[in-house]
Structure 1
């Protein structure tokens, strides 16, 4: 609301002698604000300059100077940023933005031709000839498929892995000829990793977590089964080769397997491996590789015996890529190992001979990430999470008008509250964290031992405060459909997970009922990489005492996801199914009303759509890229803002917040007609309690607010006529029935 002062109850004060129109104000709509209305304020990018650089590699220029390569995601406002850094000087050698493409994780240096190859998730392939200021556009090797992995062969051939087709392809950079080897296996939609060894290409897939051997000459694809005990793995995420051993990183389990290519046997498993990279073979011993352990130490690993030893280096990075480099520096006589920090600009180098180390930071500009989540904290402030945010989340304080960056948190899927605690649901691995909002962020954010929702869950989208604990709705890992409902005590950390209670659906929105039951909405979508088998999202009721579903139904056939469940002042449960608004009676467990608002397509989990009631009962909805006010009795709709409007939150002053891509907006609501409605449960006229429920009408008003009191009118006759007109409008609108109107009229007539 525009006014941030304390609200004084004014009701409907009618001065003596004033003739009051008998037209009920709740029917007078259709004058809502358009997009760009002065009530709308652009608050800018909550998380500006965010660097997401999952595509990282090392190489050399034509003079042999070591270089690093970073590709920084640009979405949604920019294309990818490509940066070359000279590792001796630490300076940028070349930087540009690619013509097309906003996301990438595929980057490869080719020793054969000295080119750096960039594959985008949109399917484009680029080449940067090192030592130049050029970027060559090689087009799209496979139409309709994004590039998720790249590997350079010794003959200059560039191999690629795709999504959603799950194909392996080869490109001859000289001729431009493309060979498509086809999908690695039915159902495998991602090829996340590739490595070429002696003319054979090994490919790791998702969502089945499988390993394949591709023979380019024969055109065959054969599977290499993982060792027993890894049947639940979903992603063979990275592959490396050294001295005839294939190192296989399993993303879901976080373990590193070692496969002997000569014997075809699995020879080791490194359970305490951390990061996503294994170094190339030690150029001096020819027998060792290096990687980081979960305790932070880097180790030397003997590729034949599996023996390992600490080297006295604790790299402050989660390894994304390793390389042996020559710094031409006496302090680093060699061999010198370089490593990137997965996702960021930071790099470290370590000399095995001198023990010297150095940090190098690439000069990456980054881009604001699209808003992924929006919530109101117990402190009334607005909290914002960004998609793949490496730079933390943000907090908007409407009292000071300040946006604050909050570090230590990456992608936030959803927010909740529990007393003074802000609950933070994070991706991946369904990480749950808490922040005590009575303390500064540095003191109140729990960075110690956050609670994981195990049982193969990945995205905590929604929370509901049940009083003694909190319900958590999670979507599963890639390749799975069995979402879960967790019952969590944020204070003790105790967690009880009910996985698969919705079959092949996942919960994505929750609301706590006054009957001590949990109400929720589901989506047919599970983790990425697997198609749904159901057609419609469901409304369900769960008993927290035993974790059992006691009711489940489909509010709108054919709508895959439900969103924004919230109980209204009338006791009904309101929600969205795609672009449909519906109301559900928890007593009869039936949908009592539904109406299509606006729909321009549904996001995967429907989390871009939201619904909330303000403190006086006004209903606001974001769907179809617009912000709507829905008048709760007539369901007439005012469109308040348009143009890519997503999500919704409300601050302590009653103003609304939404996002358009990476920007946050505030919408200053006008004060309601009845800012402090009559709190009585029944309509009281004079000294007479009519027994008629004092229902909510519109603009914060309840029935008794609209009827007024005898003291508001010049004469008893004026008052009775006013009550007659208003009560008839209320009856015609379905707020009261004829019997209740008669009771109100009798009470009004009896006042003197």
Structure 2
């Protein structure tokens, strides 16, 4: 076996700016601008000295990865909620000491927003068990208040708001809307939305008004929140947030991707810049998807920018955000017309012509068909573009999506595999069919109703399911599938793989993979190299599925594969993949 050389081809996505959350002072009276970083390289909290640009870095990576919330308390300390499970930390600015206050509830690994109660407590609502937790800056006591929602289908608390009577209003979802009023004094809780409002998917929104009352909305309805009910009314706009970013006559608004602090003159609106010792926040590569006119295309994660890598020159370029979904680019498909892109959120589909620069938004299927994720695009035998989809949060039932590249007309067939989502899609030209893989899972937080996933064939002429089967009995999830040079389909199912003949509809072979955990999406979309190997990534290894004997073996190992995501194999056998913020390449043509 030859020695394969792994190359770091650079970081194709530009570092992203970071919002400054507040400004404090240290023991010497110097101003510190605070923010958080969640990047492939590091996760933590920073404070930058506005005069000298020096950086305080608080690393929270040892506690696990999740979002970070920070609060400037009246006692001069900064309180942090971070980690997996979530825990409270306290940073004492005077002593430069970071103190671990502990984990108030175990089942907390994701959260959106926080609120400060009239009692000064720092409250967080979480996923996946709707726990409400807090820390009291006066005593450093942490508390867990238990699960707020009683329906097991509800998983999220989204942006809670504390009322002036110490009632914590917790918007709950996302299977359906609920709004809980939790009395932090006596522990009483009440679901206050009407039954009609609870029929819709999602979660309500709540905010504080200028009158210090809490208001909310659910769909088109607005209301005032009370401890035991809501009162429908025309609600005022949210109160203007207290400006905690003011430093003298300036607002310290953000840190640029290049590491410069940007200050805005509160009187003139003009920007000023301060150099710092901070390195910008890198952007994770989410997908490496296709080759188009001599360039490899892929996309990022938060933000969902698209990048290109010139195969001949080795030059990378961040093109910017071409997708309507702003979080991540799932797939980019090369077509003679240009590039078709699928992104999250909203199961958005977009088109971009790299030559003319023309762009077109094709559709957002979250609003039209309750779909949220389209993970792979493929050209069909009828010239159409196909995708399988995963529904919105809390829901079951994915879709077959078809896009006409000529006029961008869209057709969607919902729930073709009952209560299951569709993952991967492969064209079968010999039979005018598309091969789809499924999972029993639905949108995030949905509870599966089916016990076993399947694969299926979709007749593109009759527009219906023509066959359904179970290559690996008992599996709950079939992942990426690829058409081999022998006309057989090679597919993943957890730590196993199968070989399927789409013309005879027979499973020819099943076996265990030589890796325990594959890296998303599991395998490159097409075979490559002189022997037409199908290449995948798992653990720290590059593995190959070989049509000559239907076997699977490890070709090489490299540390970068441990962090790999997104992969594309050229016809010649050059493998490109993302590893954190870096684009990696390895020539497998001799394999």
- What TM-score do you get using the length of structure 2 for normalisation? 0.83
Report whether the alignment pairs 1:199 with 2:166. Answer: yes
Q: Residue 138 of structure 1: which of 101, 104, 125 is its match? A: 101
Aligned-residue offset at 1:532: 2.8
Structure with higher strand content: 2
Of 574, 581, 586, which residue of structure 2 is paired with 1:655? 574
- In structure 2, the residue matched to 1:452 is 364
1:397 aligns with 2:363: no
SS, match of residue 612 in structure 1: coil
Pair 1:431-2:348 in alignment: yes
Deviations 1:253-285 (A, max 9, x none): 7x7944254983132379xxxxxxx7535xxxx
Residue correspondence of structure 1 range 249-398 to structure 2 within 5 A: 257-261=222-226, 264-268=230-234, 280-281=239-240, 323=243, 328-329=248-249, 356-359=268-271, 365-389=279-303, 392-398=305-311
TM-aligned CA distance change 1:470 to 1:226, over 3 Å: farther
Residues 428 and 458, structure 1, Cα contact 8 Å, conserved in 2: yes
Any residues of structure 2 matched to 1:464-503 within 5 Å, and which? 464-466=378-380, 467-503=382-418
- Is 1:215 aligned to 2:183, yes or no? yes
Matched residue, 1:679: none
Residues 152-192 of structure 1: per-residue CA shift (max 9 Å, x gap): 22333222222222111232334443332211113222222
- Distance (whole Å) between structure 1 residues aligned to residue 270 and residue 221 of structure 2: 27
In terms of mean alpha carbon deviation, does 363-372 or 507-516 score higher? Answer: 363-372
* Structure-to-structure mapping, 1:11-26, within 5 angstroms: none
Q: Is the 8 A contact 1:192 1:238 kept in 2?
A: no
Q: Out of 217-226 and 617-626, give the one that drifted further.
A: 617-626
Provide closer, same or farther for how the CA distance between residues 389 and 249 of structure 1 changes in structure 2, counting only shifts above 3 A. farther
Q: What's the CA shift for 1:131?
A: 7.3
2:444 aligned residue:
528
The 8 Å contact of residues 563 and 609 in structure 1, kept in 2 or not, is answered as no
Selected match of 1:519 from 415, 431, 435: 435
In the other structure, the counterpart of 2:508 is: 592
Query: CA 1:129–1:341 in 2, change beyond 3 Å: closer, same or farther?
Result: same
Q: 1:177 aligns with which of 136, 141, 154?
A: 141
Q: How does 1:18-37 map to 2 (within 5 A)?
A: 32-33=1-2, 37=3
Quote the offset at 1:652 in angstroms: 5.7
CA contact (8 A) 1:158 1:171 kept: yes
Contact 1:74-1:81 at 8 Å conserved across structures: no
* Aligned partners of 1:124 and 1:141 also within 8 Å: yes
Q: Give, in angstroms, the shift of residue 412 of structure 1.
A: 0.5
State the match for 1:96 in structure 2: 57
Q: Secondary structure at the match of 2:369?
A: coil
Q: Which whole-Å CA distance do the structure 2 matches of 1:241 and 1:68 have between them?
A: 28
State the distance in 1 between where 2:479 and 2:295 align.
Answer: 22
| TM superposition shift of 1:434 | 1.7
Q: Secondary structure at the match of 1:113?
A: coil
- Corresponding position of 2:459: 543
Partner of 1:113 in structure 2? 75
Q: Which deviates further from its counterpart, 543-552 or 259-268?
A: 259-268
Q: 1:258 to 1:58 in 2, by over 3 A?
A: farther
Structure 1's 642 and 235: CA in aligned 2 closer, same or farther, altered over 3 A? farther
Pair 147,245 (structure 1): closer, same or farther in 2 beyond 3 Å: same
CA deviations on 1:391-443 (whole Å, 9 max, x unpaired) are x2322222111222221244111122322422111111112122224x1xxx4
Q: Helix, strand or coil: the match of 1:151?
A: strand
SS at match of 1:613: coil
Asked if the contact 1:52–1:73 (Cα under 8 Å) also holds between the matched residues in 2, the reply is: no
Question: How many Å apart are 1:228 and its aligned residue?
Answer: 4.4
C-alpha distance in structure 2 between counterparts of 1:248 and 1:361, whole Å:
38
Post-superposition offset of 1:463: 0.9
Q: Cα distance 1:244–1:420, how it changes in 2: closer, same or farther (>3 A)?
A: same
Give the structure 2 partner of residue 312 of structure 1.
Answer: none
Q: Whole-Å Cα distance in 2 between the matches of residues 82 and 460 of structure 1? A: 35
- Contact 2:75/2:137 (CA < 8 Å) preserved in 1? no
Partner of 1:412: 329
Partner SS for 2:407: coil
CA RMSD of aligned residues (A): 3.7
Distance in 2 (CA, whole Å) between partners of 1:367 and 1:396 is 21
Distance 1:592 1:346, change over 3 A: farther
Match of residue 73 from structure 1? 38
Aligned residue pairs total: 566
Distance 1:339 1:657, change over 3 A: closer
Contact kept? 1:59, 1:109, Cα under 8 Å: no
d(CA) in 1 for partners of 2:405, 2:256: 30
* Partner of residue 165 from structure 1, selected from 129, 135, 150: 129
Q: TM-score, normalised by structure 1?
A: 0.67
1:628 and 1:637 in contact (8 A); partners too: yes
